[in-house]
Amino acid sequence: MWGLDVHVSVRAGHPGTTPLLLLMGIGGNTGMWEPLRGLLGRDRTTIAFDVPGTGRSSPTAVPLPLPVVGRIATRVLDHVSVGRADLLGVSWGGLLAQQVALVSRARVRRSVLANTNFGVTSIPPTPSALRTLLSGRRYRDPASFAEALVQLGGGTATDDLRAHVEARFAHPPTRRGYLYQALASVTWTSLHALPLLRTPTLLLAGEHDQAIPLANARIMRRLIPGAELTVVPGGGHLMLFERAADLAPVITGFLDRDG
């Protein structure tokens, strides 16, 4: 794909359902969708890929702007012969989901944006959460990850989180890949374009998310036409994986609606 080796993971479901494209947060890899991915339903085809410089995808020599990564996402859909998909983006992946939904509207049916914001113009993290986000050490050092659980809010080492953590350490991002993803997020905003986001959108936000303050989701709900907002009491930045069993039905309930 454009000279890049992009790792793509597909789990086939029923051909009559809309496939779901999974877009992971900064530094993440396809394996980190567990156990949530398995809870989204066996009938639903799920597609995930590692952004260049993360997981099992090759690194790039230069940073990729978010619009370019968005084009990679649509090329992934082309590669697996999917014309139209639903999107689930978490954190940095939520920015990517917005980019895809705004530029490739005909390719997107519904979007779920979890623990995300609208880019560089967003309300910033707390200072301690920002320090955590600027470092990729939590992908290599268990002690750093344990500290990150607290700094990013929520901070519950649940059974749901175990498979996510194992995948996190199995395929950490390159340092350059992590930096390039961070650069992509601080040179991009969707604030001006959110009123143009016409696909049905569900926002999932954590009450105690220190990385993406709840106020960001409230702003997005006002600006995205018809957007719905679900606030998870006590939820932190990793709530999608800490509380996978609780949040999977919320996601599938939204995606399974007609239209």
Give per-residue pLDDT as tens, 115-130. 999 999 999 998 888 8
pLDDT at 158: 66
R_g of the chain, CA atoms, integer Å: 16
Q: Cα(30)–Cα(229) distance, rounded to whole angstroms?
A: 26
Q: Cα(109)–Cα(9) distance, rounded to whole angstroms?
A: 21
pTM summary value: 0.94
| Domain ranges for the chain | 8-255
For the cut 70, the answer to whether the pLDDT of residue 157 exceeds it is: no
Give the three-class secondary structure for 28. Answer: coil
Residue 58 is a catalytic residue: no
Give per-residue pLDDT as tens, 202-211. 999 999 999 9
User: Taking residues 45-67, what's their average pLDDT?
Assistant: 96
Kindly report the backbone phi and psi dihedral angles of residue 146, in degrees, each rounded to the nearest multiple of 5, phi listed first: -60, -40
Residue at 4: amino acid letter:
L
CATH architecture of 8-255: 3-Layer(aba) Sandwich (3.40)
pLDDT at 163: 75
For the cut 90, the answer to whether the pLDDT of residue 113 exceeds it is: yes
If you average pLDDT over every residue of the chain, what do you get? Answer: 92
| DSSP letter, residue 228 | E
Q: Cα(75)–Cα(140) distance, rounded to whole angstroms?
A: 30
Q: Are strands 85-90 and 108-114 parallel, antiparallel or unpaired?
A: parallel
Give per-residue pLDDT as tens, 61-71. 999 999 999 99
- Overall residue count recorded for the chain in this entry: 259
pLDDT band at 1 (very low <50, low <70, confident <90, very high): low
End-to-end alpha carbon distance in the chain: 31
Give per-residue pLDDT as tens, 211-228. 999 999 999 999 999 999
Q: Cα(237)–Cα(177) distance, rounded to whole angstroms?
A: 21
Q: Cα(188)–Cα(207) distance, rounded to whole angstroms?
A: 25
For the cut 80, the answer to whether the pLDDT of residue 83 exceeds it is: yes
Q: Cα(34)–Cα(205) distance, rounded to whole angstroms?
A: 19
- Bond from prior residue into 142 cis (ω within 30 degrees of 0): no
Helices (H), the chain: 36-39, 66-79, 92-103, 127-133, 142-151, 161-170, 175-185, 214-223, 239-242, 244-255
Give per-residue pLDDT as tens, 168-207. 788 888 999 999 999 999 999 999 999 999 999 999 999 9
Of 57, 91, 122, 185, the catalytic one is 91
pLDDT at 37: 96
